[in-house]
């Protein structure tokens, strides 16, 4: 190496003497980071050099020579030497970079070695959306990952489902998070270096015990180079509530709608005399827009400052972020500050110690559901404000108030608070010792502590149930966790055989407790529990969860052509009874890298062809502590004395929910420019943890049992390509498509779950989240009344007749739709011309049904004469006289028309322009003149437009099955945001 350098210098000296010029410059990666060790050659000669640690190079060349810049994993660039002596170069990464290291948690591998379904999203790809939530950042970018943004509340998180839904129990249905190789943990999105998503069993295998729902691995940034370097990024933008198609009526529209109540049932004429008597004409001119007043443009800001560098054996990354998001709805917002310090100290060649610390603090102002409810439903005839412009006090005795329930939500909002704050601390210490050339020991440990506090306060001056008394409720939750992973890792290479692996154990203890206090009888002007003088209630308890695991894995590869990975882990959790606490999770994965075979050498157009096959078991113990015990709860009192009530039936056989995951995949690349990945999978989840229905007459509604199977089958396709790839002009396109089919089997009997009167059925042969409702057959043209479908069955249960009925109770519930989409995905395109870049990202979803619950209230057919109506979508019409073909029933003949039925089921398919970004990177010359390393400006728009036929706010509705929420049901909710942001990124 040294000899080569000397030789190069000598050649340089020789050329210099014959009229050659000295060309110098720097080589940068796509993020503007200098690349050390990149190669610079003069084309057609052996004249070449490499960049130093700051990415600088210097080479002799003459005018007309062509310089070739290259670096592993990046595309070669050729530049001809003209008159300039300084040539700075940006290299763009190759789309397929097989040497790239992928973080898999317990171990890292190159892409070549991976035999299962893994997706990686790099930092640069995440930053197309300004948000504090990782879910929104990966939305539409990864095949097999469904991201649903169902709320625009500040600080809210999107819901993520990887390869469908594999569980039917309430609670967490999202993936397992791993930060810097250790399960759990907190991070700031600005600190993310890369995100790895594990989908197939071969890869999820090592997290098998908790990996049923997929794994998202987050790796935070570390030192990049030796010289201290800094980055400052700021984003400032504005958000606007996205009400979708939903628009409430104005005063006149509502006035005319109310007239329908006075249409007589014989002549079908509106009795205007009676109407004007009851509803003075003046009302039609009153026009207070509650929704416009309640929702206002809001500011979003994000500031990030980081420093990193290396000195001797010590390297560091230090970053601070401040995120501040105002809510579009009155008095809501979210703020978060985060500090991270990642350091590594290399004691000696073989021993290193890493310390990562993350501290975060957040504060949010939330809202009360009922305040949102009345904002939409109060009438445009009622003025929320008094003559001074303050929100009016309104109660049941207020005269001249038209809206139902006599509540002014703006007054309530002004006189109440719903705040929360949180603090978290994560401390990681990772010790690594290379014992011998082939054996190393690695111990990764994390101590986490987090606490959160909520504060709900209603002043005694607020109208409503707490008037004159006030109400305060505070709750503090504390959570503490300790996890240690200790692994011996080995690695051998014997000619063409290479083998490596690991074995070790993991212990994870987590503790949580809460304390809550509430009370009434507050003096005006005070909002702490100490001043509550009556009805004080205290609550609090604690629990813990213990995991112990043995972990092992072996990887083998032959000549980088054939790969085999086998892993095995045994896990025990305190959530299950002693005899069924332990479960085993084996997995195996194999792949064949065809392009590394001798016979493929002549085929140069195909640069990648790899076949993958994986199979394994994963698990889900996520039901909380003590679910197997027979219990009486002491969490009540009678007449101020302790009391215990029957709480839970025992089941000493309860055990893990487990998934058999099978995945077949192919990676294919052509011309170094096109990349195609296709995976098909079949995931069978057995032993579903279900709340099995009991006869209520036992005194228990459910018992936790294992039973039933969910099968998720699907196909995922990602296609990416550089369509144009020139020095000054790039155009790339990425498309992904995911189709997941979902079916239940093996359930002993169907489970029907009902929330707000809306039912879904879980039965063998049906997919999850299937709506079970009376079928709406529209409006009877003769009577104007609602019609549903009546089904007559014979003694064998076969349907012998279907006919319309106007009697709701005769309409049998039927399966009328499902909340999960048939397919979904995203596509994006990026254009670069010189320093200007344009990016557009779309997401789409097709085939899911949404239950428009709010429409039951917002289009009440006269059932609720004092609630406002939504402006009808085109195509809706109200029945007025016999013979009308109408969609909405007569207000005179509306009996039970707004009861739950398929009337409220709508198509939830959509296409969304999720992100549109325009950015400008200042040329290195200008940047240098400002003594900076990089400067980039960008303007970004998020959630720009949604194409959908859905009549409500947004077809993206919750997929969370919880006791109070049903997947696919659109309740009153905080609308999503359209967002417009200006970003500045400076490196120095």
Partner 1 sequence: MKKILKINIIGLAAFLMILQSCGKMDVSPSDKVTTGSISNSTDGIINVTNGNYAMFKDVVSFNGFKDDNNEYLRQYFQMSTFAGDNIVCGSRTEDPLYYSFTYTHSPSQANARYFWYVSYKIINGANTVIDILKNKKGKDALNRQLEGENYFLRAFCTFNLVRFYAKPYNEGDPSVNPGVILRKSAEEPSAKARASVKETYDFVLSDLKKAAALMDESRGKAYASKEAAWAMLSRVYLYKGDYDNCIAYSDSVINSGKFTLETSASFPTYFANALNRSETIWAIAFTPADNRGKFGSIASMVYSDGNSGWGEEFASKSLRTIMSKHLNDVRWSYIDTLYTDNGSIAKKNGIEIFYITKFSFQDGDPNLSSPVMFRLAEMYLNRAEAYAHKGNVNSALADVNKIRKNRGLQNSLYTSVPTGKTILDIVLNERRIELAFEGPRLFDLLRNHRDIVRNYWGYHIPGLTVSDIDLSHPPTGYPNLVIPWNSSKVQYYIPVDEILANPLCVQNP
Closer residue to partner 1 in complex, CB, 645/876: 645
Angle at 102 between CA 187 and CA 35, to 5 degrees: 90
Nearer to partner 1, 599 or 964 (CB): 964
> For the sheet containing 21-28, what is the strand order?
56-61, 21-28, 89-90
Residues 6 or more apart from 340 whose CB is under 8 A from it?
Answer: 187, 188, 191, 220, 317, 318, 319, 320, 356, 357, 358, 359
The span from the CA of 573 to the CA of 158, in Å, is 29
Comparing CB distances to partner 1, the nearer of 810 and 837 is: 810
CB 959 within 8 A of CB 939: no
> Smallest gap, in angstroms, from Cβ of residue 420 to partner 1?
20
From 420, 436, 546, select the one nearest 480 (Cα to Cα). Answer: 546
For the CB of residue 461, give the shortest distance to partner 1 in the complex, in Å.
11
φ and ψ at 537, to 5 degrees? -130, 130
Smallest separation (angstroms) from partner 1 to the CB of 672 = 46
CB 817 within 8 A of CB 843: no
Tally Cβ neighbours within 10 Å of residue 393. Answer: 14
CB of 369 to partner 1, least distance (A): 11
Residue 135 or residue 774: which is nearer to partner 1 going by CB? 774
Nearer to partner 1, 290 or 576 (CB): 576
Q: Closest approach of Cβ 687 to partner 1, in Å?
A: 20
Q: Which is nearer to partner 1, 409 or 826 (CB)?
A: 409
**How near is the Cβ of 513 to partner 1 at its closest, in Å?**
8
E strand or H helix that includes residue 779:
strand 776-779
CA separation (Å) from 500 to 55, 201, 490, 569?
A: 34, 19, 5, 17
The CA distances from residue 167 to 174, 623, 706, 881, in Å, are 10, 11, 11, 50
Residue 696: count of CB within 10 angstroms of its CB: 8
83 vs 640, which CB is nearer to partner 1? 640
Cα separation of 791 and 200, whole Å?
44
**Long-range contact pairs involving 923-926 (C-beta distance under 8 Å, separation at least 24):** 923/835, 924/26, 924/28, 924/88
271 or 477: whose CB is closer to partner 1? Answer: 271
Q: Are strands 786-793 and 689-693 parallel, antiparallel or unpaired?
A: unpaired
Q: For tokens 């085109």, what's the residue?
A: 874
> 651 or 732, CB closer to partner 1?
651
Give whichever of 92 and 478 is closer to partner 1, judged by the CB atom.
Answer: 478
Which residue, 450 or 894, has its beta carbon nearer to partner 1?
894
Question: From the CB of 418, what's the least distance to partner 1, in Å?
Answer: 16
Which residues, other chains included, contact 251 with Cβ-Cβ below 8 Å and sequence gap of 6+? 283, 284, 285, 286, 287, 288, 380, 381
> Closest CB to partner 1 among 230 and 402?
402
Edge-to-edge order in the sheet of strand 66-70: 48-50, 39-42, 66-70, 77-80
Closest CB to partner 1 among 112 and 403?
Answer: 403
CB of 651 to partner 1, least distance (A): 12
Segments of 621-701 assigned E as strands:
631-638, 641-648, 657-670, 674-686, 689-693
**C-beta of residue 231 within 8 angstroms of C-beta of residue 191:** no
Residue 173 CA to chain centroid, in angstroms? 12
Least distance (Å) between residue 890 CB and partner 1 = 10
* 601 CB-near residues (< 8 Å, 6+ apart): none
CB of 490 vs partner 1, minimal distance in Å: 18
State the minimum distance, in angstroms, from the CB of residue 195 to partner 1. 30
Contact 780, 787 (CB under 8 A): yes
Q: In angstroms, rounded to a whole number, what is the distance separating the alpha carbons of residues 918 and 603?
A: 39
Q: Which residues contact 832 (CB under 8 A, 6 or more apart)?
A: 729, 730, 731, 838
Rounded to whole angstroms, the Cα distance separating 299 from 295 reads 13
Least Cβ distance, residue 64 to partner 1 (angstroms):
58
Contact yes or no for 779/886 (Cβ under 8 A): yes
Nearest of 385, 370, 373, 387 to residue 288 by alpha carbon: 385
CB of 857 to partner 1, least distance (A): 9
Least CB distance from residue 634 to partner 1, whole Å? 5
Closest to partner 1 by CB, 90 or 771? 771
3-state secondary structure (DSSP) of residue 652: coil
Rounded to a whole number of angstroms, the minimum distance from the CB of residue 520 to partner 1 is 8
292 backbone dihedrals φ, ψ, rounded to 5°: -65, -35
CB of 410 to partner 1, least distance (A): 16
Closest to partner 1 by CB, 452 or 895 = 895
- How many CB atoms sit inside 10 A of residue 356's CB? 25
How far is the C-alpha of 864 from the C-alpha of 405, rounded, in Å? 11
Considering the complex, what minimum distance in angstroms separates the CB of residue 630 from partner 1?
A: 4
| Closer CB to partner 1, 678 or 691, in the complex | 691
Instruction: Provide CB contacts within 8 A for 26, sequence distance 6+.
Output: 34, 51, 54, 55, 56, 57, 88, 89, 924
Closer residue to partner 1, CB minimum distance, 582 or 717 = 582
């Amino acid at each position: 190496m040294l000899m080569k350098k000397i030789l190069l210098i000598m050649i340089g000296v020789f050329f210099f003497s014959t009229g050659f010029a000295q060309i110098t410059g720097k080589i940068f990666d796509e993020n503007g980071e200098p690349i050390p060790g990149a190669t610079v050659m003069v084309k057609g000669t052996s004249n070449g050099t490499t960049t130093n640690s700051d990415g600088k190079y210097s080479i002799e060349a003459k005018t007309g020579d062509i310089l070739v810049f290259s670096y592993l994993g990046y595309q070669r660039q050729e530049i001809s030497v003209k008159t300039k002596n300084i040539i700075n170069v940006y290299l763009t990464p190759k789309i397929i970079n097989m040497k790239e290291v992928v973080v898999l948690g317990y171990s890292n591998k190159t892409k070549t070695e991976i035999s299962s379904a893994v997706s990686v999203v790099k930092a640069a790809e995440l930053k197309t959306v300004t948000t504090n939530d990782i879910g929104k950042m990966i939305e539409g970018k990864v095949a097999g990952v469904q991201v649903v943004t169902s709320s625009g509340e500040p600080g809210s998180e999107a819901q993520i489902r990887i390869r469908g839904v594999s569980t039917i129990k309430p609670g967490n249905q999202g993936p397992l998070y791993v930060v810097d190789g250790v399960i759990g943990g907190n991070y700031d999105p600005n600190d993310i270096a890369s995100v790895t998503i594990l989908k197939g069993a071969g890869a999820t295998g090592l997290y098998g015990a908790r990996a049923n729902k997929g794994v998202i691995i987050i790796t935070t940034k570390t030192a990049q180079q030796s010289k201290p370097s800094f980055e400052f990024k700021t984003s400032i933008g504005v958000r606007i509530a996205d009400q979708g198609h939903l628009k409430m009526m104005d005063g006149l529209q509502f006035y005319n709608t109310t007239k329908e109540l006075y249409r007589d049932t014989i002549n079908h004429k509106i009795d205007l005399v009676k109407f004007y008597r009851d509803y003075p004409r003046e009302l039609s001119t009153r026009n207070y827009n509650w929704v416009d007043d309640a929702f206002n443009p809001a500011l979003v800001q994000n500031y990030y400052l980081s420093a990193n560098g290396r000195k001797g054996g010590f390297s560091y990354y230090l970053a601070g972020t401040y995120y501040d998001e105002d809510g579009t709805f009155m008095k809501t917002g979210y703020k978060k500050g985060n500090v991270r310090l990642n350091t590594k100290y290399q004691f000696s060649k073989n021993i290193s110690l890493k310390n990562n610390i993350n501290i975060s603090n957040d504060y949010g102002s939330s809202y009360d559901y009922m305040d949102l409810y009345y904002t939409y439903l109060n009438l445009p005839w009622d003025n929320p404000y008094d003559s001074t412009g303050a929100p009016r006090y309104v109660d049941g005795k207020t005269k001249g108030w038209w809206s139902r329930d006599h509540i002014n939500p703006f007054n309530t909002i002004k006189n109440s608070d719903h705040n929360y704050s949180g603090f978290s601390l994560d401390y990681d210490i990772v010790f690594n010792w290379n014992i011998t050339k082939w054996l190393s020991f690695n111990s990764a440990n994390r101590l986490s502590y987090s606490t959160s506090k909520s504060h709900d306060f209603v002043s005694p001056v607020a109208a409503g149930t707490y008037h004159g008394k006030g109400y305060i409720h505070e709750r503090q939750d504390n959570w503490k966790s300790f996890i240690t992973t200790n692994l011996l890792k080995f690695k051998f290479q014997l000619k063409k055989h290479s083998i490596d692996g690991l074995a070790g154990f993991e212990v994870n203890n987590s503790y949580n407790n809460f304390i809550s206090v509430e009370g009434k009888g507050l003096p005006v002007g005070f909002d702490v529990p100490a001043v509550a003088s009556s009805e004080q209630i205290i609550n609090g308890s604690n629990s813990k969860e213990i995991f112990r695991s043995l972990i092992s894995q072996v990887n083998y590869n032959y000549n980088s052509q054939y790969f085999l990975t086998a892993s095995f882990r045994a896990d025990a959790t305190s959530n299950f009874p002693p005899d069924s606490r332990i479960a085993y999770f084996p997995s195996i994965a194999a792949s064949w890298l065809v392009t590394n075979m001798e016979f493929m050498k002549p085929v140069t157009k195909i640069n990648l062809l790899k076949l993958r096959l994986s199979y394994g078991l994963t698990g889900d113990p996520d039901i909380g502590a003590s679910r197997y015990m027979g219990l009486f709860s002491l969490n009540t009192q009678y007449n101020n004395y302790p009391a215990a009530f029957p709480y839970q039936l025992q089941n000493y056989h309860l055990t893990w929910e487990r998934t058999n995951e099978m995945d077949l995949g192919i990676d294919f690349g052509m011309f170094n420019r096109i990349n195609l990945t296709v995976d098909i999978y079949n995931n069978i989840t057995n032993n579903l943890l279900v709340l099995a229905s009991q006869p209520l007459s036992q005194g228990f509604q459910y018992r936790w049992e294992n039973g039933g199977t969910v099968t998720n089958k699907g196909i995922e396709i990602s296609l990416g390509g550089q369509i144009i790839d020139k020095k000054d002009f790039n155009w790339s396109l990425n498309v992904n498509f995911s189709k997941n089919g979902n079916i239940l089997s093996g359930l002993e009997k169907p489970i029907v779950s009902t929330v707000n009167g809306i039912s879904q059925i879980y039965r063998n042969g049906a997919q999850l989240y299937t709506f079970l409702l009376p079928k709406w057959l529209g409006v009877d043209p003769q009577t104007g009344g609602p019609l549903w479908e009546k089904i007559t069955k014979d003694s064998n249960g076969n349907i012998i007749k279907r006919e319309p009925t106007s009697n709701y109770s005769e309409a049998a519930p039927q399966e009328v739709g499902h909340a999960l989409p048939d397919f979904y995905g995203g596509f994006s395109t990026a254009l670069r011309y010189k320093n200007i870049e344009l990016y557009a990202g779309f997401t789409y979803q097709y085939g899911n049904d949404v239950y428009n619950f709010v429409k039951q209230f917002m289009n009440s057919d006269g059932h609720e004469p004092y609630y406002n109506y939504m402006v009808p979508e085109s195509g809706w019409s109200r029945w007025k006289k016999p013979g009308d073909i109408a969609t909405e029933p007569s207000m005179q003949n509306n009996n039970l028309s707004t009861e739950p039925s398929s009337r409220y089921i709508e198509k939830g398919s959509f296409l969304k322009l999720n992100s549109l970004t325009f950015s400008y990177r200042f040329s290195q010359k200008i940047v240098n003149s400002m003594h900076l390393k990089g400067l980039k400006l960008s303007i970004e728009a998020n959630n720009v437009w949604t194409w959908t036929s859905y009549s409500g706010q947004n077809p993206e509705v919750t997929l969370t099955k919880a006791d109070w929420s049903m997947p696919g049901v659109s309740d009153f909710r905080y609308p999503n945001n359209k967002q417009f942001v200006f970003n500045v990124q400076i490196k120095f």
